[in-house]
């Protein structure tokens, strides 16, 4: 992988941790890149973010000094490829390279496809300046190249091959466009080369070649695109023999010459790459190239890779894939056994620069230290982590603020699940083993049409933490990761569970755990919007990696046809709604509209007069608006950003009460979600569409349980107005005191 230096970065210190949720007595490691000679680390408890004006400002409580450490600049090793261990079978006098490929950025140069190549010599099949190229360098240092003259054009599949006869010097290179209506960009070039036996590195790469940086070998020249069914033979096959491979003759016809045949359709849910030849030259995929992708022979008859694996024998490589920075540990911290549960951070200081690495301290497994639990939506933090693709938000003049000190690192090195790879394809994997610069207490991550920003996601959820502190509630902090791993047992000890403002990304295990908790009498306060929306997988073998395949929803990119199933778990991706688990079934409301403009207050409905919900409106007038005041997210109004509504057709319980709603005051910057629009028309905007609304819903569940849902991302950012004396704060406190009671 290419070790990319963080150059021209105005922020000289950044880092990440190996764990997000830590129990008392556990050790957490922090990886730090620092341009300066020394840095200082201390532990702080985070209470409120300080980015937005008009609120309480930044609040943190020092806990303890950790220490002073030597700074070390560390690189970000981007780019995916497959690496095979060194083996003498790759040192060949004569050979044939063969594969099917789709180059997605063919003009980028150079890109390794199949290579046993380094600065010392070797051979390989590459893309150079849009042309398929064969390169060879012998022991004397002499280099020869053979290239096709006709350039390749995505998204066409090409059969490609190169042969070299070390005795005669004869070399060929061949490309054939295998699309239905190929337009003549197939070509075969043959020439006698005056080179001897190549002296390569003795190892083999797919999707890159070996380079030399900072005194060590690194993978570089990363390929953008798909590679399928690659093979290596130990002699130069004839043109007719190569052609027979193109038309499906199995390589068993040349079994005595077959060095390796890599089957990308097996082990899809792992990073293992199997060689089905007798030599078993198995490899390892580095930096998580995309798997479970359609191959050159995909017929369209089957969209589940598990049902037709032979049609999914391809891997999609990217030059900006990243699944683990693999930084050296800067320092470690062992959580004291009596440490209070909460939101914490390692605060790093280098000169005048400060960075926070947040993490959560939960209670010991199987125990609870309070009746109330804040369930931090960690998978959603991951999904939005390092988000910088403004084009993902399709609203005129909208600007997604990025701190200037983070802009370079985000744009050049890091991606979220909302961004696109350099070849335009969507990012479907996210790892937390890298800096996550938008998950910071002072990050500005939302805005209105004029470009004015506010707080969102992690920084907004700190509003809830501060509110709980100010109101004197005792609470534990647990995370999505914990719920995914432990299920209902994690939630069972608590009287009430509170969500964050935007719990959008949920795994099936998480849904199962919360559903069972509610069936057993648990109480839930869903204090956000656009929750329980995208099907999210946690890689069983690498739990630091999450996966999302977008289709059928309101989305920043769309998965390619035939690539809707998750490689990590094999499950169908997309919306939970499309798998029969819409949020309305669980919490009474679900995603209905979004907009980044002026928000709205809620109006009470006739249902709010029902005696069942009198406790919710204690101290609230019958005609009093809820949230009719400024907030820290989008400027004004408690209903805004992304909105949820009740809908019995989608599963809202028949006994649920819609006690307040915000509708009719939103502009056309607010639009109904795509999954609700059957026919394109002019009736999806906030000024006309009944879908553009936020509903507050209450209903009871078995065994004295209950659910209260607010249907707006902006709700939590409205808590602090007027020193926490406002209608949003009052309603939230009324419900929490009732739900936390025995």
The DSSP element (H or E) to which 483 belongs, if any, is helix 480-486
Q: What residues contact residue 28 under an 8 Å CB cut-off, 6+ apart? A: 17, 18, 19, 22, 332, 333, 334, 335, 359
Q: Which two tokens stand for residue 321?
A: 């894939």
Q: Using 50, 70 and 90 to split pLDDT, how confident is the model at 356?
A: very high
The structure tokens 């061949």 sit at: 174
Phi and psi at 244, nearest 5°, equal -65, -35
pLDDT at residue 197 greater than cutoff 90: no
Q: What residues contact residue 403 under an 8 Å CB cut-off, 6+ apart? A: 437, 442, 443, 444
The radius of gyration of the chain from alpha carbons, rounded to an integer in Å, stands at 28
How much is the pTM? 0.94
Q: What residues contact residue 204 under an 8 Å CB cut-off, 6+ apart? A: 84, 87, 90, 114, 115, 116, 232, 260, 281, 283
pLDDT at 606: 98
- Burial of 667 from C-beta contacts in 10 A (0-12 / 13-18 / 19+): middle
Q: For 258-315, what is each residue's pLDDT tens digit?
A: 999 999 999 999 999 999 999 999 999 999 999 999 999 999 999 999 999 999 999 9
Phi and psi at 610, nearest 5°, equal -65, 135
Task: Identify the CATH number of the domain defined by range 2-76+326-359.
Answer: 2.60.40.1930
In the chain, where are the structural domains located?
2-76+326-359, 80-317, 366-740
Which one, of 236, 229, 281, lies nearest residue 259 by Cα?
281
pLDDT at 395: 45
Q: Are 268 and 295 in contact (CB under 8 A)?
A: no
Q: For 305-328, what is each residue's pLDDT tens digit?
A: 999 999 999 999 999 999 999 999
Distances from the Cα of 535 to the Cαs of 199, 387, 581, 724, in angstroms? Answer: 48, 19, 10, 35
Q: What's the whole-number mean pLDDT along residues 529-548?
A: 97
Distances from the Cα of 290 to the Cαs of 206, 253, 421, 738, in angstroms? Answer: 14, 31, 11, 48
Q: Using 50, 70 and 90 to split pLDDT, how confident is the model at 448?
A: very low
Q: For 166-183, what is each residue's pLDDT tens digit?
A: 999 999 999 999 987 777
Q: What's the whole-number mean pLDDT along residues 28-40?
A: 96
Supply the DSSP symbol for 669. Answer: T
Instruction: Give dist(CA 231, CA 688) in Å, integer.
Output: 59
Instruction: Give dist(CA 41, CA 639) in Å, integer.
Output: 39
Distance of CA 721 to the CA centre of its chain: 33
pLDDT at residue 9 greater than cutoff 80: no
Q: For 134-153, what is each residue's pLDDT tens digit?
A: 999 988 889 999 999 999 98
Q: Are 646 and 662 in contact (CB under 8 A)?
A: no
Q: Cα(first)–Cα(last) distance of the chain, in Å? A: 56
The edge-to-edge listing of strands for the beta sheet with 590-594 is: 642-645, 590-594, 671-672
Q: What's the whole-number mean pLDDT along residues 642-647?
A: 97
CATH fold, domain 80-317, is Jelly Rolls (2.60.120)
Q: Please state whether the peptide bond connecting residue 155 to the residue before it is cis, i.e. omega within 30 degrees of 0.
A: yes
Q: What residues contact residue 629 under an 8 Å CB cut-off, 6+ apart? A: 601, 636, 637, 638, 718, 721, 722, 726, 727, 728
The edge-to-edge listing of strands for the beta sheet with 329-334 is: 13-17, 27-34, 329-334
Three-class DSSP category at 717: helix
Which one, of 597, 594, 535, 595, lies nearest residue 570 by Cα?
535
> pLDDT higher for 231 or 405?
231
- CA torsion angle for 503, 505, 508, 509 (degrees, to 10)? -60
Instruction: Give dist(CA 174, CA 184) in Å, integer.
Output: 13
* CB atoms near residue 169 (< 10 Å): 15
Look at phi and psi of residue 469 and say left if phi exceeds 0, alpha if psi is from -120 to 50, else beta: alpha
């Amino acid at each position: 992988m290419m070790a990319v230096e963080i150059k021209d970065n105005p922020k000289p210190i950044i880092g990440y941790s190996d764990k997000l949720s830590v129990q008392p007595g556990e050790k957490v490691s922090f990886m730090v890149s620092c341009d300066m000679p020394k840095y200082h680390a201390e532990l702080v408890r985070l209470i409120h973010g300080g980015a937005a004006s008009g609120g309480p400002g930044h609040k943190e409580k020092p806990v303890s000094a950790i220490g002073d450490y030597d700074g070390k600049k560390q690189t970000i090793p981007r780019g995916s490829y497959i690496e095979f261990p060194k083996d003498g079978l790759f040192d060949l006098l004569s050979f044939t390279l063969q594969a099917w490929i789709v180059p997605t950025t063919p003009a980028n140069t150079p890109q390794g496809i199949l290579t046993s190549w380094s600065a010392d010599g070797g051979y390989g099949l590459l893309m150079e300046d849009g042309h398929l190229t064969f390169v060879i360098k012998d022991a004397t240092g002499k280099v020869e190249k053979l290239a096709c003259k006709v350039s390749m054009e995505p998204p066409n599949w090409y059969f490609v091959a190169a042969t070299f006869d070390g005795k005669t010097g004869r070399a060929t290179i061949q490309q054939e466009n295998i699309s239905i209506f190929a337009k003549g960009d197939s070509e075969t070039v043959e020439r006698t080369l005056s080179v001897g036996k190549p002296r390569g590195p003795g190892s083999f790469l797919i999707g890159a070649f070996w380079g030399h940086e900072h005194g060590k070998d690194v993978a570089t020249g990363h390929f953008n695109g798909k590679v399928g069914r690659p093979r290596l033979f130990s002699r130069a096959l004839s043109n007719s023999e190569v052609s027979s491979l193109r038309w499906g003759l199995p390589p068993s016809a040349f079994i005595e010459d077959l060095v390796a045949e890599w089957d990308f359709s097996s082990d899809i849910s792992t990073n293992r790459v199997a060689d089905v030849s007798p030599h078993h030259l198995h490899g390892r995929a580095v930096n998580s190239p995309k798997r479970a992708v359609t191959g050159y022979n995909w017929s369209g008859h089957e969209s589940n890779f598990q049902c037709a694996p032979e049609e999914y024998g391809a891997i999609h490589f990217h030059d900006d894939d990243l699944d683990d920075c693999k930084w050296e540990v800067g320092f470690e911290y062992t959580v004291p056994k009596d440490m209070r549960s909460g939101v914490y951070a390692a605060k790093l200081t280098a000169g005048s620069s400060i960075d926070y690495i947040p993490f959560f301290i939960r209670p010991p497994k199987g125990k609870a230290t309070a009746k109330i639990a804040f369930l931090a939506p960690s998978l959603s933090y991951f999904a939005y982590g390092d988000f910088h693709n403004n084009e993902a938000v399709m609203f005129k003049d909208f600007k997604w603020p990025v701190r200037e000190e983070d802009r370079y690192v985000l744009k050049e090195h890091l991606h979220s699940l909302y961004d696109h790879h350099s070849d335009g394809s969507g990012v479907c994997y996210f790892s937390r083993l890298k800096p996550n610069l938008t998950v910071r207490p002072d990050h500005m991550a939302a805005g209105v049409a004029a470009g004015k920003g506010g707080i969102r996601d992690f920084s907004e959820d700190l509003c809830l933490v501060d509110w709980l502190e100010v109101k004197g509630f005792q609470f534990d902090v647990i995370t999505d990761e914990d719920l995914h791993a432990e299920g209902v047992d994690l939630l069972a000890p608590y009287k009430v569970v509170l969500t964050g403002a935007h719990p959008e990304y949920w795994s099936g295990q998480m849904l199962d755990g919360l559903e069972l908790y509610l069936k057993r009498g648990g109480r839930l306060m869903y204090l956000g919007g656009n929750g329980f929306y995208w099907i999210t997988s946690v890689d069983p073998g690498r739990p630091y990696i999450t996966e999302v395949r977008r289709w059928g929803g309101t989305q920043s990119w769309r998965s390619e046809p035939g690539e809707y199933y998750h490689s990590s778990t094999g499950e169908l991706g997309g919306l939970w709604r499309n798998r029969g688990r819409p949020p309305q079934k669980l919490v009474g409301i679900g995603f209905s509209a979004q907009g980044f403009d002026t928000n709205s207050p809620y109006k009470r409905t006739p249902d709010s007069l029902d005696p069942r919900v009198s406790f919710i409106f204690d101290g609230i007038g019958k005609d009093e608006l809820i949230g009719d005041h400024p907030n820290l997210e989008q400027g004004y109004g408690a209903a805004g950003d992304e909105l949820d509504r009740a809908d019995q057709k989608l599963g809202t319980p028949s006994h649920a009460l819609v006690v307040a709603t915000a509708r009719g005051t939103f502009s056309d910057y607010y639009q109904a979600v795509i999954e609700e629009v059957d026919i394109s028309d002019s009736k999806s905007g906030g000024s006309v569409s009944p879908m553009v609304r936020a509903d507050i819903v209450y209903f009871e569940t078995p065994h004295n349980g209950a659910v209260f849902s607010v249907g707006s991302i902006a709700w939590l950012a409205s808590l602090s107005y007027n020193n926490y004396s406002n209608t949003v704060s009052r309603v939230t406190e009324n419900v929490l005191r009732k739900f936390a009671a025995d």
